[in-house]
A and B are shown apart, each in its own frame.
Chain A
């Protein structure tokens, strides 16, 4: 005795049939896949019903049989026959030490560079931009916190004519309209604090404390709202630029966004970005404090300054008078946290950066 179901896809209810497994019987009856009924016993969806519902069970089975016989099976290539994805083209990041660590930046992939403040993220970003513009490519920086310093960019050797700078911030037209509408609504409803009954009934101290808490909450809400708004701008601008195409390097600078806000970017968004750059000669680079793209990034570089406390102590010891001191650069320590590219290089390197005035 045979039943009719092997498995069904969630969306269509089409049976999956592996090409290798198709037997002669099935080939003689195209569109059906039959396995012994015992194999189905115990599956959650089609387990034996309780007593008294056998008629319904049979009706259901026959319905499924009919449906399965009508829908042709979807051919699924077995994993052993899947095409091997070609290795991405690697291009120079502009810093030889990083190139020796990662082999360069992969085209058509998402690369994450993360680290705390003063860890050299922006230096790496500008070096990558400079290298790309030297190759004659057009680049775009989507700057979530409007932090790019034009003089540093010029000093890094970026061809500014080839750099598109998208400065995300507060005074966007959409934002203005939304704010106006919200303020109007607020005016209509009145201030929530003044309407709170306990605020009027309590003494001055309570009122003052409440106002202080409210202010703090409002400030926190403001920061959160600003970050969300910037994030929304960044994601929309990135989508548009990826769709437009033709850029050699697109950078998402999320360095100054609070980690909580940056982590709110859904994984599906990163997956979409990764799919958008796939098979294109574009490098998608994300600069952030902590890794947020998960498995969607092909390369993940963790940056930090080398022996921070020791360095500061050394600087303190040397210092005096202060005008004899000079910030001549940073010592950056880069660690390769993840790489999908088949390489076995060193896992970390160190390199030094120089300030523009250090000569």
Chain B
């Protein structure tokens, strides 16, 4: 039964590079500790060339001008670990979370799905690279042999069954112990390594060749276990975990962001990572939550939560800051300090259908933030996606075209920026007799929506030629001269809607909502007025509760 191990060497560096891929070509060192006692805990190969080593103080490291220093970020490391788990889960449901940088997975039965073991290992390597992680992959017949091989060999390694000892023999004995041991374990590991070094045992082949009884007498059960590991003969079952479907990415900033453009740059990176993770699990998202931790410069309450659909013009002004003002003006108008230390600003992006397109998400977030700026410099960005099953719709050859959901969503967001948030969408009639008894709702174009059943052409077309009313919004207030209680002459703000009443029908009385505060009662008249050389028909309304006459619309 084959097992695979995915190991991320130099995990703090890998997590930092995943968050900032542009640092790949620079010497990089990760610092940990409280200032001013910060020490280098990890360096990349470029930094090693500059003789920067773990354990150096920050002051010593700063002597190298080319070196990029980054503080260790728990957020980045947890995101990288989650990505590692997603990568493993995309290949096998049986995954053991061995350490933050190591994941073991059971590959039993996977060959029929993904091909030979070599192909599987290569696919895992590529998938991890797509998620921004440079990994070592090893496949062996038992989990511990795979783990040792992944720690010891870089790249992809496949150990055939029964040849574990032969392949592992060349590895140094240090691979038996993890880099991330706690204090007590580290001491005992160092003690063991020192003993083995005194015996002249440098690699696993030498350890595997030691006589069992003599080793047991000197090192006890621990020694025997180490020897079994070195021979690749430890058989155990995996302890599988069920990774929760939490898709979150975060970035903590050293310097606060003020402009929308750099924010969009960071959001793009986070969105790409999120989409890659969702894609690896064959999922999409229907809801994005953006939480921004703000600097406490302005008078913002603890948490200002806004929800809504994105709605702004797509021309994001990069010179405009997050207050929605020009930069200079914003600096002048900074409010007194807030009481809260780190106010949060949350935006929720609800999508009509599950989507998985980082570019679309970025544009929607940009439009949304342009319409609703956070109001203060940003210290931390947290982005979470609610997973959903990707939509599945089969287009037909003979179905009429429909707008692409992603494109349509962007278009609607842009139009909402032009005409207003609640002035674009689909109509929904309400169960009322009120003349304006409708509301706007989100317009969704589903490919799979059923086409209404065809009526006979005559019946359908007879229904279509219905005289339509064009409404004046708001209704036009009119002065009406009455004769025998009936409108005889009408004067209105609009010059084309006034004159003698040529013909009239009514009154038709309507009322409703008398049990509410906003009760209404009205008399409706249909009138014909002369409009130049033509005659036009209007609906005149007498408001019985509020008084007054209104021209509500024209029949057209």
Contacts and interface: CB of A to CB of B under 8 A. Distances in A.
Interface string B311-331: 111000000000000000000
B125 to A, nearest CB: 40
B475 to A, nearest CB: 12
Interface stretch (A170-178, A193-201, A339-347): A170-178
Contact of A134 (B399, B460, B507): B460
Interface string B278-321: 00000000000000000000000000000000011100000000
A269 interface: no
B225 interface: no
Interface residues of A, number: 87
Contacts of B470: 117, 122, 147-149, 255-256
A330 B467 contact: yes
B400 A316 contact: no
B466 A355 contact: yes
A15 interface: no
A126 B466 contact: yes
Contacts of B537: 118, 327, 330
A117 B536 contact: yes
Contacts of A125: 468
Interface in B423-481: 423-429, 435, 437-438, 440, 443-445, 449, 451-452, 454-455, 460-461, 463-473
B528 interface: yes
B411 A243 contact: yes
B27 interface: no
A165 B537 CA distance: 25
Contacts of B556: 117-123, 255
Contact of B445 (A148, A156, A236, A246): A246
Contacts of A351: 465
Interface in A122-177: 122-123, 125-127, 130-131, 133-138, 145-157, 159-169, 171-174
Interface stretch (B45-53, B163-171, B496-504): B496-504
Interface stretch (B109-117, B242-250, B414-422): B414-422
B535 interface: yes
B468 A312 contact: no
A147 B536 contact: no
Contacts of B449: 161-162
Contacts of A311: 535
A355 B466 CA distance: 5
B555 interface: yes
B502 A312 contact: yes
B553 interface: yes
Contacts of B443: 164
A156 B427 CA distance: 14
Given A237-B418, A315-B503, A118 B534 contact: yes
B554 interface: yes
B18 to A, nearest CB: 35
A136 B526 CA distance: 35
B398 to A, nearest CB: 10
A161 B426 contact: yes
A167 to B, nearest CB: 4
B407 interface: yes
Interface string A311-346: 110011001001101110110000000000000000
Contact of B465 (A123, A161, A240): A123
A298 interface: no
B108 interface: no
B414 A240 contact: yes
- Of the listed residues B404, B449, B505, the one surrounded by the most CB atoms of chain A closer than 10 A to its CB is B505
A346 B239 CA distance: 83
B442 to A, nearest CB: 10
Contact of A119 (B440, B465, B534): B534
Given A149-B553, A172-B423, A353 B466 contact: yes
B441 to A, nearest CB: 9
A203 B401 CA distance: 69
B506 interface: yes
Given A246-B402, A323-B507, A157 B536 contact: no
A137 B401 contact: yes
Contacts of B518: none
B461 to A, nearest CB: 6
Contacts of A164: 412, 424-426, 443
B532 interface: yes
B486 A330 contact: no
B371 interface: yes
B516 interface: no
B408 interface: yes
A117 B496 contact: yes
B531 interface: yes
A273 interface: no
Nearest to B443: A164
B184 interface: no
B21 interface: no
B423 A167 contact: yes
A279 interface: no
Contact of A248 (B401, B467, B472): B401
B403 interface: yes
Contacts of B22: none
A265 interface: no
A41 interface: no
Contact of B427 (A130, A163, A245): A163
B533 interface: yes
A173 B311 contact: yes
Contact of B415 (A240, A245, A325, A353): A240
The 5 closest A-B pairs by CB, nearest first: A246-B403, A325-B505, A136-B451, A127-B464, A122-B468
